A and B are shown apart, each in its own frame.
Chain A
Amino acid sequence: DTAVSQTPKYLVTQMGNDKSIKCEQNLGHDTMYWYKQDSKKFLKIMFSYNNKELIINETVPNRFSPKSPDKAHLNLHINSLELGDSAVYFCASSRGTVDNSPLHFGNGTRLTVT
């Protein structure tokens, strides 16, 4: 009955590879997000989608490409992985963009690039 689920939980890969992280929410929410938490534990928003449309794209390299096949899914594809991409990536969802509903987070994907 997990509300926001991410796969995989751990991902270890080499520099230069391409990888994807999947996220699904069963809360019926319209808005989904990707956050990155670096080694200093700082949580920074990367992307936000509302009803499959991109509404926030922070200054993230274009090697990162989010894809939302439907409003319950927001996947993150990363091309040409670099050492600095090592972090924990969190998916989140919220009911909408104009109400005060809180974010619900998944349990994260720990990406290690060697």
Chain B
Amino acid sequence: DAKTTQPTSMDCAEGRAANLPCNHSTISGNEYVYWYRQIHSQGPQYIIHGLKNNETNEMASLIITEDRKSSTLILPHATLRDTAVYYCIVRVFTGNQFYFGTGTSLTVIP
């Protein structure tokens, strides 16, 4: 069901940038890419989304390749509180589906 693939886990040193990749090679022209994270067993938290232009907000930056087949979420200065599972999602407008994949477990190391 999920249209994305992500690495299972990643580590990042505290204070460094965390770059989380996502492949979505079957994405359609009008489908957006969304990023969420889940800390422990809390509800997934929205981070950012985009269509084809790079996006930035107070939490992160989203870089989408020109062919839109992959994207990277960048946390510019990772803190210990950024340790979480990060989900990259392609929204399927038919039926308004948000399909979650298995996500990347990011561990920020002191």
* Chain A contacts to B: CB under 8 angstroms: 4, 31, 33, 35, 37, 41-45, 48, 50, 55-56, 88, 90, 92, 94, 97-98, 100, 102-108, 110
B86 part of interface (Cβ distance < 8 Å): no
Is the pair B41, A103 in contact by a Cβ cutoff of 8 Å? no
Query: Complex formed: what's the CA distance from A42 to B99 in Å?
Result: 10
When C-beta atoms are compared, the residue in chain A nearest to B44 turns out to be A105
A94: B residues at CB distance < 8 A: 96
B102: A residues at CB distance < 8 A: 41-42
Is the pair A103, B42 in contact by a Cβ cutoff of 8 Å? no
A107: B residues at CB distance < 8 A: 42-43
In the complex, which of the residues A33, A43, A104, A105 has the most CB atoms of chain B within 10 Å of its own CB atom?
Answer: A43
* Chain B contacts to A: CB under 8 angstroms: 1, 32, 34, 36, 41-46, 49, 51, 85, 87, 91, 93, 95-100, 102-103
Is the pair A100, B43 in contact by a Cβ cutoff of 8 Å? no
A103: B residues at CB distance < 8 A: 36, 44, 46, 98
Query: Complex formed: what's the CA distance from A55 to B97 in Å?
Result: 10
4 A-B pairs with least C-beta separation: A105-B43, A43-B100, A97-B96, A102-B46
Is the pair B43, A90 in contact by a Cβ cutoff of 8 Å? yes
Query: Complex formed: what's the CA distance from A56 to B45 in Å?
Result: 22
Is the pair A108, B98 in contact by a Cβ cutoff of 8 Å? no
Is the pair A88, B93 in contact by a Cβ cutoff of 8 Å? no
Is the pair B51, A100 in contact by a Cβ cutoff of 8 Å? yes
Is the pair A110, B99 in contact by a Cβ cutoff of 8 Å? no
B85: A residues at CB distance < 8 A: 41
